Amino acid sequence: MKIAILGSGGREHAIADKISKSSKLKKLYCIPGNAGTSHIAENINLEITDFDAIYKFVENYKIDLVIVGPEKPLVDGVVDFLEKKNIKVFGPNKKVAQLEGSKIFTKQICKKYNIPTAKFGIFETASQAVDFLKKTKMPLVVKADGLAAGKGVYICKDLESSKKAVDEIFNGKFGIAKQLLIEEFLEGDEMSYFVLSDGKFFRSFNTAQDHKRVGEGDVGKNTGGMGAYSPSGLNNPELEKKIIDQIVKPTFKAINEIGESYKGFLYVGLMIKNNEPYLVEFNVRMGDPECQTILPLLKSDLLDLIVSCCNKSLEKHNIEWHEKKSLCIVLCSKGYPENYSKNIAILNFNKLKSDKSNFIFHAGTKVAKNEILATGGRVLNFVSISDNFKNSRDQVIEKIEKLNWENGFYRKDIGYKIIN
């Protein structure tokens, strides 16, 4: 099969790496890809928002299947656009991608179908929101409604910080805001639960725990993710049954009742308290960096599974996993998640080698004049799998220290809750 993957991050490199090992694969393309994907696929320099150009490429190169990595093209309707032209695409359509594209859409489903989640209010003006905040007990969570690259969530401990969050959202920090969400603050432990669905049938697709805060000890500003580990230490059969019965099944029922079906990965972001799950958010694709942490544990052929989703035959396929512990640390550009320098050379990279237990997935990189340049805030994902999380983390840190990139920083404490 000829496969094209849309996206340029660490998630897409991890997907490409897994698919490159499939016996079904004939040729792999990444649109636009990065310095890492260039070694296992042909990078095609197109914008993932230019649907017409993507269609022309897919048609001219006779691509059998398009796999969509990031959320923006999904929310913008790339699946609908290509499927109308009889192109096979893996990912949910525009309507159901609102599960991620609109937090308010998701909350309304939660309310209608009794899905456990934080209590919430929806506000259309800053003055409405501030009036409510003045009368409400802190801490609270203030959220932008639309896509915000993982950064549109404010945990506010006092009135001043919550008013600032409201002002930033309504002043367009994350795009035009017609509404925002204010939620109660849920205490507990976060867990990411993944599902693979073909529209009729779904299978669980492992768990992970990520670290969103920039600073060690989970302090500082929110980021797209500083690291993750898989599987989560929180999961157990009783909890998993609750997640499926109380959250996953009602969500797919809600989608079916609006005349739609869900094809793709569903990321279920959870808060766990006393072994009870509460929905924090949905993402309509694999998480990043959770994807980079989970996929090295996958024994099954990823392309087989994705094709079965497109053919509505997932029920015929079991998903097998290596019984190992995987941990990922993200190497970031200094200054991230605020301002950082771009196009900085990453020296010493040729000293590093991947093997069956150690992986380096590129996130924000490109090749120029035979050098690898850092182009993003999150630059490289270092992943190791072993028999325990401490060994995995030690192996990752050893690789990062060997690289010795002066313009980078990373968190040394990823997995601290599970590594005693």
C-alpha–C-alpha distance, residues 251 and 265, integer Å: 13
Q: DSSP secondary structure string, 15-57?
A: HHHHHTT-TT-SEEEEEE--TTGGGTSEE----TT-HHHHHHH
Domains of the chain: 2-94 (3.40.50.20), 119-184 (3.30.1490.20), 189-316 (3.30.470.20), 325-409 (3.90.600.10)
Q: How confident is the model at residue 149 (pLDDT cuts 50, 70, 90)?
A: low
Yes or no: say if 361 and 416 are a contact pair by the CB < 8 Å rule: no
Cα torsion 178, 81, 42, 383: sign: positive
pLDDT in tens, 44-81: 999 999 999 999 999 999 999 999 999 999 999 999 99
Q: DSSP secondary structure string, 273-318?
A: ETTEEEEEEEESS--TTHHHHHGGGB-S-HHHHHHHHHTT-GGG--
Q: Given strand 153-156, what is the order of strands in its sheet?
A: 120-123, 180-184, 140-144, 153-156
Average pLDDT over the chain, rounded to an integer: 93
Secondary structure letter of residue 349 according to DSSP: G
Lowest mean pLDDT among 144-158, 162-176, 256-270: 144-158
pLDDT in tens, 327-386: 999 999 999 999 999 999 998 888 888 888 999 999 999 999 889 999 999 999 999 999
Q: Which two tokens stand for residue 381?
A: 């994902």
Yes or no: say if 363 and 292 are a contact pair by the CB < 8 Å rule: no
Yes or no: say if 76 and 95 are a contact pair by the CB < 8 Å rule: no
If one compares 64 and 130, the residue with the highest pLDDT of the two is 64
The pairing of beta strand 371-374 with beta strand 276-283: unpaired
Burial class (CB in 10 A: 0-12, 13-18, 19+), 360: buried
Q: What is the reported pLDDT for 151?
A: 61
pTM: 0.92
Secondary structure letter of residue 10 according to DSSP: H
The pairing of beta strand 371-374 with beta strand 344-345: antiparallel
User: What average pLDDT score do residues 217-234 get?
Assistant: 94
CA 38 to chain centre: 22
Lowest mean pLDDT among 176-190, 229-243, 305-319: 176-190
pLDDT in tens, 288-319: 999 999 999 999 999 999 999 999 999 999 99
Whether 42 shows a pLDDT value over 80: the answer reads yes
Q: What is the reported pLDDT for 128?
A: 83
Whether 230 shows a pLDDT value over 80: the answer reads yes
Q: What is the reported pLDDT for 279?
A: 96
Yes or no: say if 356 and 29 are a contact pair by the CB < 8 Å rule: no
Backbone angles phi, psi at 75, to 5 degrees: -65, -30
Yes or no: say if 268 and 209 are a contact pair by the CB < 8 Å rule: no
The pairing of beta strand 120-123 with beta strand 202-215: unpaired
Q: What is the reported pLDDT for 155?
A: 86
